[in-house]
């Protein structure tokens, strides 16, 4: 029903552009959707300020500015709708001049000063649902008996196998490939399947071997406590690959920990410690003859909802904690508590990375380490970094191709 505030006259609903929304005119054009499953129980109302969405008695206003900002017409978008040509100044309330509007059972149509927007109501409902503050539910490598493993030749040749492998990395944080062989370029062939190498001061790749000339402890035979790589870098490499060329015969067990899961558990056990580690950044540093890198970053990173989206932990790269006195000592207690959790057999998955196996993992989520190995061992891993945005882009492309 449409109501003209000046005449107080009710006008029967129609699909035409009925109402002037400028000046003193106040409109109320309501459509209750009953023929679409996702719209059941939802009411849409046009008012002076925009579109009012009512879901089971809870209201959510989408302003004229927001509606203009999501317009999908060819005047506001280019490249088939994939690139926006509008600017935020074009949708500000001061410059916005809606003239008429109407809501139908599927769309809201708005006549602006220079063009017409037709916006699907489904887009608005999706925006409403996505904005709801809901805890992120994630799967973990602890949910199964072993780390997901995939045949290398299938991953390299079959799109569905590639999708399953990359999907496992994205879902659980880590996945293995087997039957890789010992070709030192295998890591590059795999990365080229979904993205690009992330080159650092270590080069396009690096060899994890016993090398007394290196300052990084990774190139010794010592045990390495679980850690994320390159916390001193911004941004950190989001993916890491380790390809075993020679396993060695004494020691050198690989260890991984799902940092998201442990951080979640920390929040439940000691919320004050979780808050400290996710609120205050500390300094991480690496320095050798080729690079001097440092970054201030939080041990636990959260998004605007408070969900964990990243872990940054490396005892070898952490500098002394410089924080105000009333925070500093308790912060160190929090850090020690978190470290003890990471050291617990409850969270550590230990396994032997055999020659011809490769592990790909999310470096912002999964911590990795190793046990000590014999000085006489010829253990040799090939390492490299890549970026998770390419992985997710490839996953989306594969999923889209499957739907066709």
Q: Are 209 and 370 in contact (CB under 8 A)?
A: no
Asked if the model's pLDDT at residue 214 lies above 90, the reply is no
Interatomic CA distance for residues 244 and 183, integer angstroms: 10
- Confidence (pLDDT) at 40: 65
d(C-alpha 277, C-alpha 281), whole Å: 8
pLDDT at position 13 over 60: no
* pLDDT for 370 beyond 70: yes
C-beta atoms surrounding 216 within 10 Å: 14
252: left (phi over 0), alpha (psi -120 to 50) or beta: left
Question: Which of these ranges, 139-153, 212-226, 303-317, has the smallest mean pLDDT?
Answer: 212-226
Residue 27 pLDDT > 50, yes or no? no
Query: How far is 381 from 312, CA to CA, in rounded Å?
Result: 23
Question: Quick one: pLDDT at residue 346?
Answer: 97
Q: Is the pLDDT of residue 240 over 90?
A: yes
pLDDT at 202 over 50: yes
pLDDT 10s digits, 274-285: 999 999 999 999
Distance CA(40)–CA(56), nearest Å, equals: 10
pLDDT of residue 207: 94
Reported confidence tier of residue 229, pLDDT bands at 50, 70, 90: very high
Name the more confident of 114 and 265: 265
Mean pLDDT of 220-237: 95
Give residue for tokens 């001193």.
232
Is residue 341 helix, strand or coil? helix
Question: Distance (Å, rounded) from C-alpha 111 to C-alpha 24?
Answer: 17
The token pair at 38 is 């996702």
CA dihedral 16, 17, 20, 25 (to 10 degrees): 50
Q: 0.75 exceeded by the pTM?
A: yes
3-state class of 114 per DSSP? coil
SS3 365: coil
The answer to whether the beta carbons of residues 368 and 179 sit under 8 Å apart is no
At residue 135 the predicted structure's pLDDT band, cuts being 50, 70 and 90, is low
Band of the pLDDT at 113, cuts 50, 70, 90? confident
Q: Hey, CA dihedral for 230, 231, 233, 235, is it positive or negative?
A: positive
8-state DSSP, 229: S
pLDDT at residue number 3: 31
Residue 97 is predicted with a pLDDT of 67
Report the Cα–Cα distance between both ends of the chain, in Å, rounded. Answer: 41
- Could you give the percent of the chain with pLDDT greater than 70? 85
DSSP 137-200: P---GGGSSS--EEEHHHHHH-HHHHHHHHHHHHHHSEEEEE---S-TTHHHHHHHHHS-B--B
- pLDDT value, residue 378: 86
CB 249 within 8 A of CB 325: no
Using one digit for the tens of pLDDT, what is the confidence trace for 71-102?
Answer: 888 788 776 656 777 676 566 654 566 888 88
pLDDT band at 148 (very low <50, low <70, confident <90, very high): very high
16-22 mean pLDDT: 42
SS3 at position 340: helix
Mean pLDDT, to the nearest integer, of 364-376? 91
Lowest mean pLDDT among 63-77, 220-234, 241-255, 390-404: 63-77
Contacts of 128 (CB under 8 A, 6+ apart): 53, 55, 60
CB of 170 within 8 A of CB of 364?
no
Task: Check residue 7 and give its pLDDT.
Answer: 32
What domains lie within the chain, and their CATH numbers? 2-131 (3.30.2020.30), 141-403 (3.60.130.10)
- Of the pLDDT bands very low, low, confident and very high (cuts 50, 70, 90), residue 17 is very low
Tokens of 290: 């080729």
Confidence of residue 104 (pLDDT cuts 50, 70, 90): confident
pLDDT tens track for 293-345: 999 999 999 998 899 999 999 999 999 999 998 899 999 999 999 999 999 99
| Residue 180: alpha-carbon gap to chain centroid | 28
pLDDT band at residue 20 under the 50/70/90 scheme = very low
């Amino acid at each position: 029903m449409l109501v003209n505030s000046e005449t107080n006259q009710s006008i029967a609903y129609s699909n035409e552009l009925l109402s002037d929304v400028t000046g003193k005119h106040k409109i109320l054009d309501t459509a209750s959707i009953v023929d679409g499953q996702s719209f059941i129980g939802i009411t849409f109302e046009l008012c002076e300020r925009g579109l009012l969405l009512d879901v089971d008695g809870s209201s959510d206003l989408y302003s004229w500015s927001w509606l203009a900002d999501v317009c999908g017409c060819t005047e506001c978008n280019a490249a088939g709708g994939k690139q926006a040509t509008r600017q935020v100044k074009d949708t500000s309330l001061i410059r916005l001049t809606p003239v008429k509007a109407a809501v139908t059972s599927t769309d809201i149509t708005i006549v602006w000063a220079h063009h017409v927007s037709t916006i699907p109501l489904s887009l608005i409902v999706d925006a409403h649902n996505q904005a709801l503050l809901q805890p992120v539910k994630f799967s973990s490598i602890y949910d199964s008996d072993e780390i997901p493993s995939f045949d290398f030749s299938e991953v390299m040749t079959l799109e569905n196998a590639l999708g399953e492998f990359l999907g496992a990395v994205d879902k659980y944080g880590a996945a293995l490939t087997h039957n890789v062989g010992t070709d030192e370029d295998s890591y590059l062939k795999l990365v080229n399947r979904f993205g690009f190498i992330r080159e650092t001061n270590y080069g396009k790749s690096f060899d994890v071997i016993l090398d007394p000339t290196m300052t990084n402890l990774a190139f010794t035979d010592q045990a390495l406590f679980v850690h994320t790589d390159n916390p001193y870098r911004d941004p950190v490499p989001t993916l890491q690959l380790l390809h075993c060329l020679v396993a060695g015969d004494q020691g050198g067990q690989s260890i991984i920990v799902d940092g998201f899961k442990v951080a979640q558990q920390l929040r439940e056990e000691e919320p004050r410690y979780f808050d400290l580690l996710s609120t205050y950044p500390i300094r991480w540093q690496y320095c050798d003859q080729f690079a001097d890198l440092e970054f201030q970053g939080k041990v636990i990173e959260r998004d605007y909802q408070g969900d964990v989206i990243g872990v940054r932990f490396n005892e070898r790269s952490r500098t002394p904690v410089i924080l105000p006195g009333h925070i500093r000592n308790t912060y160190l207690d929090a850090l020690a508590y978190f470290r003890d959790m990471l050291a617990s057999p409850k969270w550590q998955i230990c396994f032997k990375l055999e020659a011809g196996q490769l592990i790909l993992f999310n470096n912002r989520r999964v911590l990795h380490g190793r046990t000590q190995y014999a000085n006489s061992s010829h253990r040799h891993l090939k390492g490299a970094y890549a970026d998770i945005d390419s992985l997710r882009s490839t996953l989306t492309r594969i999923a889209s191709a499957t739907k066709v």
